[in-house]
Structure 1
Amino acid sequence: MTTPAIKWWQKAVVYQIYPRSFQDSNQDGIGDLKGIENRLDYVQKLGADVIWLNPVYDSPNKDNGYDISDYEAINPEFGTMADFDDLLAAAHQRGIKIVMDLVVNHSSDQHQWFIESRSSKDNPKRDFYIWRDPVDGHEPNNWSSFFSGSAWKFDEASGQYYLHLFVEGQPDLNWENEALRDEVYQMMNRWVDKGIDGFRMDVVSMLSKPTGLPDAPLPAGNTYANPVSLTANGPHIHEYLQEMREKVLNNGDLMTVGETSGVDIDNARKYADIDGSELNMVFQFEHMGLDDNANPALGKWDNQPVSLVALKENLSKWQTEMEGQSWNSLYWDNHDQPRIVSRFGDDSPAYRVKSAKMLATLLHMMQGTPYIYQGEELGMTNAYNLGWDDFDDVEIINGREFVVNREHLVDDDTMLDYVHYKGRDNARTPMQWSAADNAAFTTATPWIKLNANYPQINVEQALADPDSVFYHYQKLIKLRHDLPLVTTGHYHLLDPEDDQVFAYQRLDDGEALLVIANFTAETVERTYDYPDNADLLLSNYQDDQGSTLRPYEAKIYYYQK
């Protein structure tokens, strides 16, 4: 059997940039495209191959740019299209590719398509969106928005509701309409012609809605039901993505990754089949839901630590069951997740650096394409100094209103603890460049409050310290680039019931890697089978004490079998 050729994106490492919070070049308190361009040398020094840009399109910012009013214009807060062209050219000059965020499950209610759609029932673009008559004077079904409350908004002028799975200002596009799909493909092709290197596709698993839009199972005591089980992986989603592949994605050597809420292994294999008929890889969320609240009404809002045994089981399932059939994406952090060192690690001064390196080591030696979210390579932490008046995220604001004020599920202090543990604004505080005012992000007032620990945790400090988290990430990236085994090796979990240490092997053609990660602040003893002449490729301690694993110790051994 012929082994498929390794694609460039299988050996690549992606650096995710949230533009509002990366670097402000014009001193208005908001990060921008020129700021990113000015920091490309930093990304190059890290060793990343690709930048994934969160949305930079024109937007009224009801959901920080994920409500797009013009897919082919740059939000003036971020600069101009000429600034984007300069950024793309400067990145390519450094060998760095640019992947754009594609948000086509919904648009902004200020997009011209929706303005026309809303204008009358007989407008040619009426069916670009999902409109329904009231049922018995109420919403067409019981679906909730993912940001709390009903997923339907009544339009007085036409007497119908429109669907918005997210905020009211994000009406869902109707992918059953062929004219709408053609408009989307034409827009995508114009970005491809501009020279971008791929697309990260926002909530792509929700493009195809279930036939008839039926009610979702309603938890006891709730008015509205989370519709993810119905809206994810709908009846025509794979037809749409195969059509997208034919009309757009085959027009360049592009990298594609789909954000696929509600996906399981079987569906992931279809989205990212090795035959290349749809996407290259998907983001799945199972490991990010392992620390959700046991009360379904609270959903993600909790502050309990994850079970290591459950984490091992989940990550290992995706490693073994996707191998040879499709490709994994590997991530801990992103703009929708809290900081991993505060969540699965230990962000205390004693162990922040050690545990950040441990988590990085564990993830980056698995099979798949790793994603590093800005600041993750510094060991940036959750922002415990943010209070209710400081949060900007609609999910946090609406979540508090629903959980505390309406349903009275927990009190305000408990909810704040949950937000400090799981809230999205933990990841959205400005990038910490130095100990200077505002972390050298801006000289103006930042759009969101800085994490108070920026004087201690910042790029300037990290680059000056050869033992920093940054240089550990740099070494992990180099290992992936230099050692084919990281890309091609089979995954084998060791000791699945061990609730303190996560250890696994990567095996291929007589070679082996052994990855050992102590998830605790305790010193433990563990013995693994590897030869005395095994090479210690990387560790987060200066010496090797063999079977003794110190707090959060992580090691990578290489040996011939």
Structure 2
Amino acid sequence: MKKHLLAPILSVLTILTSCDTTSNSKVENHWPHAGITYEIFIQSFYDSNGDGIGDINGVTKKLDHVKELGANAIWFMPIMPSPSYHKYDVTDYNGIHPDYGTMDDFKNMLKSAHEKNIKVVIDLIINHTSSEHPWFIESKKGRDNPYRDYYVWAQKDTIADFINKKTITLDSDNIRQWHDPGNGEDFYYGFFIGGMPDLNFDNPKVREEIYEIGRFWLEEVGVDGFRLDAAKHIYTDDRPKDNHAFWKEFRSEMTKIKPDVYLVGEVYDMKEVVAPYLPGLPALFNFDFHYTLLESYKKEDGMLLVRKQKEILDFYKDITDEFIDATFSSNHDQPRLLNSLDENPKKLKQAVTILMSMPGAPYLYYGEEIGMMGKKPDENIREPFLWDIRANDSGRATWIDAEYSKDDVVTPLAIQKSMSTSYFNHYREIIKLRNTNRALALGDLEFYSEDLSKPVMAFLRKYEGQELFVIHNLGQEEQSINVPESFQAVLFSLGNGSLENNIVRLPGYASIILEK
């Protein structure tokens, strides 16, 4: 074995020390409200037929990996036919991209996942279609075409002031949103790019088309729910109330088919903008969690994330008690977590420990559990999963040459499984702890009110009489924290954290969880 394959792990031999208090505990599935969802980009996951592209049958082969990790559900990035590698521009809403397999392959995978008690959520992209979708091909033929009003069209003179709009938003760096199909007279609206024309949801026929698509996937195929892409952009930003109303209508239509349908929305904005979507989208991604987690490390400010998270949860509770806080530390649009944390292995292990010790329903992005690397452009955040050393890795996708997640940088899963200090075994252990401890999964979040050094993050998790005290040191220097006498049991320790005489000592980037 090449020495460099072990380097990312051997350099952190002392990071993980945990107490085996979960071996006799019952593993529980808290999905959707507090369970764990694993995000997969199929193209890069596992190639079952040797064509270089990951596929659905490859996912079926690797469902045991999801199960072993401890995740309760899978979110698939787009699986429908599309002209692009990422497939966020759909040409057929009722199909499977041929590179990924067939509908029978998908149904077989779904059956296998359900047998393993793994739920399946698919990306549903309804803000826009591909410009190659049959609806749009018809729509651009002329103003009298039956599909014309499936999209948003305007004559050049009515939008002259907006054609060269130069507004960059949180979720798009596109600076042109009105596009010329070629005649220079009529322009169509596409918030993201010209190849993704926005659908016109003022047209009741469009709304009914979308509801029929949802019914197809829930009723005929059998998925458990949808991740709703660009949920904020069903209507333009100056029509937020119309957006909110649409999603309530969408939820009502979907629950007629599947009363327990899971809907998670991508609303990329601050809590005041996000919260009004909750009645329609009971689960929403918490982008503030991701960015504040990274900011906490940069500033070595331990309580920054706790304050932000408490603020968000309290704000949401004022709107509805029935919400799911979809927390995440990375995803397919953000640089890989290890890159965002200065390629520091201790920080990576601690970051997922923070994610799993906080309230919410955490999402994990494929490959983070083995320390995959990646920066923009997006293709390099979506590089192939490393299952084994290259000579043995027949399932590794080759559709792209990896720039970051290479064999001399990332230790493959097969090797990590046998190493007690590996990223994978740490992910598996902290997930198991969450899945066997109700206070950690379901408990309320409370501040610890005593004075703390700035790098220290400390909070309480309480659930039905159980109380945990969670402490993380986000700085490089060792920290000592006085703890109440009632907390005498060490439930979990990362990085040689210790408790003695009511004093917790945490080296840099160490964590400890105490129980009464």
TM (normalized to structure 2)?
A: 0.84
Residue 191 of structure 1 corresponds to 217
User: 1:132-159 deviations in whole A, cap 9, x for unaligned?
Assistant: 1224884635254724331111123372
Q: CA deviation at 1:521?
A: 2.5
Q: What CA distance in whole angstroms lies between the structure 1 residues aligned with 2:205 and 2:80?
A: 22
- Pair 1:378–1:21, CA change in 2 (3 A): same
User: Structure 1 residue aligned with 2:232, among 205, 210, 217?
Assistant: 205
Residue 283 of structure 2 corresponds to 281
Q: What CA distance in whole angstroms lies between the structure 2 residues aligned with 1:109 and 1:306?
A: 44
Residue 180 of structure 1 corresponds to 206
- Pair 1:157–1:13, CA change in 2 (3 A): same
Q: What CA distance in whole angstroms lies between the structure 2 residues aligned with 1:319 and 1:476?
A: 23
2:438 touches 2:463 (CA, 8 Å); kept in 1? no
2:479 touches 2:505 (CA, 8 Å); kept in 1? yes
Residue 193 of structure 2 corresponds to 167
Q: Does 1:66 align with 2:88?
A: yes
Q: What CA distance in whole angstroms lies between the structure 2 residues aligned with 1:137 and 1:331?
A: 39
1:357 touches 1:554 (CA, 8 Å); kept in 2? no
* Residues 475-484 or 356-365, more deviating: 475-484
1:20 touches 1:32 (CA, 8 Å); kept in 2? yes
Q: What CA distance in whole angstroms lies between the structure 2 residues aligned with 1:423 and 1:498?
A: 38
Q: What CA distance in whole angstroms lies between the structure 1 residues aligned with 2:70 and 2:437?
A: 15
Q: CA deviation at 1:17?
A: 0.4
Residue 536 of structure 1 corresponds to 490
5+ residue gaps, structure 1, are: 1-5, 210-229, 294-303, 383-419
Q: Does 1:505 align with 2:460?
A: yes
- Pair 1:289–1:361, CA change in 2 (3 A): closer
Residue 13 of structure 2 corresponds to none
Q: Does 1:318 align with 2:312?
A: yes
Query: After the TM superposition, which residues 364-403 of structure 1 pair with which residues of structure 2 at under 5 Å, given as runs?
Result: 364-382=356-374
Q: Give 2:361's aligned amino acid.
A: T
Give 3-state SS (helix, strand or coil) of 1:148's partner: coil
Q: Give 2:309's aligned amino acid.
A: L
Q: Give 1:116's aligned amino acid.
A: E
User: 1:198-246 deviations in whole A, cap 9, x for unaligned?
Assistant: 101001121122xxxxxxxxxxxxxxxxxxxx36x72311221121122
Q: Percent identity between the aligned chains?
A: 30
Q: What CA distance in whole angstroms lies between the structure 2 residues aligned with 1:518 and 1:438?
A: 39
Q: What CA distance in whole angstroms lies between the structure 1 residues aligned with 2:79 and 2:397?
A: 22
Q: Give 1:271's aligned amino acid.
A: Y
Q: Give 2:369's aligned amino acid.
A: E
User: 1:376-403 deviations in whole A, cap 9, x for unaligned?
Assistant: 1223233xxxxxxxxxxxxxxxxxxxxx
Query: After the TM superposition, which residues 388-427 of structure 1 pair with which residues of structure 2 at under 5 Å, given as runs?
Result: 420=375, 423-427=377-381
Query: After the TM superposition, which residues 203-282 of structure 1 pair with which residues of structure 2 at under 5 Å, given as runs?
Result: 203-209=230-236, 230=237, 234-252=240-258, 253-265=260-272, 267-273=273-279, 278-282=280-284
Q: What CA distance in whole angstroms lies between the structure 1 residues aligned with 2:268 and 2:83?
A: 25
Q: What CA distance in whole angstroms lies between the structure 2 residues aligned with 1:374 and 1:124?
A: 42
Question: Aligned Cα RMSD in Å?
Answer: 2.8
- Pair 1:292–1:117, CA change in 2 (3 A): farther
1:256 touches 1:280 (CA, 8 Å); kept in 2? yes
Q: Does 1:548 align with 2:502?
A: no
Q: CA deviation at 1:437?
A: 4.4
Q: Give 2:362's aligned amino acid.
A: P
Q: Does 1:522 align with 2:516?
A: no
Q: What CA distance in whole angstroms lies between the structure 2 residues aligned with 1:150 and 1:370?
A: 34
Give 3-state SS (helix, strand or coil) of 1:57's partner: coil
Q: What CA distance in whole angstroms lies between the structure 1 residues aligned with 2:291 and 2:154?
A: 32
Q: CA deviation at 1:500?
A: 1.2
Give 3-state SS (helix, strand or coil) of 1:70's partner: coil
Q: What CA distance in whole angstroms lies between the structure 2 residues aligned with 1:521 and 1:461?
A: 29
Q: What CA distance in whole angstroms lies between the structure 2 residues aligned with 1:288 and 1:365?
A: 14
Q: Does 1:459 align with 2:413?
A: yes
Residue 118 of structure 1 corresponds to 140
Q: CA deviation at 1:346?
A: 4.4
Q: Does 1:32 align with 2:55?
A: yes
- Pair 1:310–1:439, CA change in 2 (3 A): farther
- Pair 1:487–1:444, CA change in 2 (3 A): closer
Give 3-state SS (helix, strand or coil) of 2:477's partner: coil
Q: Give 1:322's aligned amino acid.
A: Y
Q: Highest relative contact order (Cα 8 Å, sep 6+), 1 or 2?
A: 2
Query: After the TM superposition, which residues 2-21 of structure 1 pair with which residues of structure 2 at under 5 Å, given as runs?
Result: 8-21=31-44
Q: What CA distance in whole angstroms lies between the structure 2 residues aligned with 1:306 and 1:170?
A: 39
Q: Give 1:18's aligned amino acid.
A: F
- Pair 1:509–1:109, CA change in 2 (3 A): same
User: Structure 1 residue aligned with 2:162, among 140, 149, 164?
Assistant: 140
Q: What CA distance in whole angstroms lies between the structure 1 residues aligned with 2:229 and 2:358?
A: 24
2:293 touches 2:329 (CA, 8 Å); kept in 1? no
Q: CA deviation at 1:37?
A: 1.2
- Pair 1:182–1:7, CA change in 2 (3 A): farther
* Residues 334-343 or 454-463, more deviating: 454-463
Q: CA deviation at 1:468?
A: 2.4
Q: What CA distance in whole angstroms lies between the structure 2 residues aligned with 1:166 and 1:307?
A: 36
Q: CA deviation at 1:171?
A: 0.6
* Residues 239-248 or 445-454, more deviating: 445-454
Q: What CA distance in whole angstroms lies between the structure 2 residues aligned with 1:122 and 1:292?
A: 52
Residue 393 of structure 1 corresponds to none
Q: What CA distance in whole angstroms lies between the structure 2 residues aligned with 1:504 and 1:104?
A: 40
Q: CA deviation at 1:452?
A: 2.6
User: 1:451-487 deviations in whole A, cap 9, x for unaligned?
Assistant: 2355642211221113322223223333333322234
Q: What CA distance in whole angstroms lies between the structure 2 residues aligned with 1:50 and 1:241?
A: 23
Q: What CA distance in whole angstroms lies between the structure 1 residues aligned with 2:210 and 2:452?
A: 47
1:439 touches 1:458 (CA, 8 Å); kept in 2? no
User: Structure 1 residue aligned with 2:178, among 145, 152, 168?
Assistant: 152
- Pair 1:356–1:290, CA change in 2 (3 A): closer
Residue 130 of structure 1 corresponds to 152
- Pair 1:558–1:379, CA change in 2 (3 A): farther
Q: CA deviation at 1:23?
A: 1.1
Q: Give 1:376's aligned amino acid.
A: E
2:490 touches 2:514 (CA, 8 Å); kept in 1? yes
User: 1:54-111 deviations in whole A, cap 9, x for unaligned?
Assistant: 00110000x7110111111111111111211111111112111110101000110001
- Pair 1:488–1:47, CA change in 2 (3 A): closer
Give 3-state SS (helix, strand or coil) of 2:425's partner: helix
Q: What CA distance in whole angstroms lies between the structure 1 residues aligned with 2:108 and 2:122?
A: 15
- Pair 1:23–1:138, CA change in 2 (3 A): same
Q: Give 2:135's aligned amino acid.
A: W
